[in-house]
Amino acid sequence: MSEKTRTRFVVIGGYLGAGKTTLTVNLARVLKEKYGKSTAIITNDQGHALVDTEYVQGAGFDVKEIVGGCFCSTFPEFVKNARSIVQIKKPDFIIAEPIGTSTNILSSVIEPLKMQYPEEFEVAPFMVVVDGTKAAKMESSKKLIPAHQVKEAEIVLLSKNDLINKDGETAAEAAIKNLAPEATIYKYSSKTLEGVDEIAQIIMSSAVNTKMQKGENTAKFANEKSSMSWYSSINEIKPLDKIDMYDLSMSIMKSIAAEYTPDEIAHVKIVISSPSAGVKMSLVCDSVQTDGIHGSRYVSDEAKLIVNAPVTSDPERLGKIIRAAVETVKQTYPMEIIDSSESCYSPTPETPVFITL
């Protein structure tokens, strides 16, 4: 296979709620609309029904998903999905987004991808999204995973730039440089789209991954990961009248936020999608944001309501709280839930297929 036929592979990591999926969709849009380039996306999360997959599909892009844990622990399935995308869709780029608690991506995903499939994939520099509003406090945080992710990065993408002032930017950049002195920092906003085109330029460039880093023992992060439970549900809803999807999603978010402290809420994601409309919302700590709306904010035809929520909680309590929140909106809004399924558990530690310690 000649080099010209290789598919360019972009891995964008980052912690829960940093803004990876929203950035990925915005990048795919810019690449398509401004440069005529096609992008396929691989999503990754715990649970059996992924908000991110539904969101990407609703945005009009080809997507494959890896469920039930980081794709570092299911590397053969990860590559199988990538190859399937290439064979069927032939995209110019594949953007893969590992789960928000992923660690050792350089050694467990990028390095084996380069070593085992050099004729099929060209791997771009490893990018890590960091929440710009939290970056300055990363080193003093009790959480080990976000700082570890930054240390692996070749390029750090500082998100939510519209929410921080100049002093905040300076403090954030200083914290990043202290953790990853050689990393290049790009600032952007998914709200204003400032800086997104610069990141698209990196994707279209010939720059490749050159950083090699031995992985850290996964046991180091086990307690941090096991303290979280992950909730996932998919509900088929039948409106009996017009429903405001924004208000319904916000009602669920408020119910969950009322039961936990901000530090306990890593990331709650909700998507409601129908053939004619859709909305995606996120709750990180105590901040709710709308990640995207297509069509009207109102829905009157059958739709899917998907909830994903990694929260510091025991699974029984988390499941009970979210079920109660969904039941409340069922009683409040003119709708029926005609089918539903859920899972809620504390994941076992990941076991990467390939890793160099």
Q: Please list the rounded mean pLDDT of every run of 10 residues in the chain (357 residues).
A: 75 96 97 98 92 93 92 92 96 97 94 96 98 92 92 97 94 96 97 97 98 84 90 96 96 97 96 93 94 90 96 97 96 95 89 71
Rg of the chain (C-alpha set): 20
Identify which of 244, 238, 232 has the alpha carbon closest to the alpha carbon of residue 54: 232
Task: Give the residue from 314, 319, 317 showing the smallest Cα distance to 343.
Answer: 319
What is the rounded CA–CA span in Å between residue 283 and residue 291?
A: 10
Q: For residue 115, what pLDDT is reported?
A: 94
| 278, β-bridge pairs | 273, 294
DSSP letter assigned to residue 241 = S
Cβ atoms 62, 91 nearer than 8 A:
yes
158, 132 contact by CB (below 8 A): yes
Do residues 37 and 31 make contact, with C-beta atoms less than 8 angstroms apart? yes
Regarding pTM above 0.75, the answer is yes
- The confidence score (pLDDT) of residue 294 equals 85
User: Could you report the per-residue pLDDT of 91-111, keeping only the tens digit for each?
Assistant: 999 999 999 999 999 999 999
Coil vs helix vs strand at 148: helix
pLDDT of residue 226: 87
The tokens for 263 are 């530090």
Domains of the chain listed by start with CATH number: 3-222 (3.40.50.300), 228-345 (3.30.70)
Written as one letter, the residue type at 87 is: Q
State the pLDDT at residue 306. Answer: 97
Tell me which DSSP letter residue 353 carries.
Answer: S
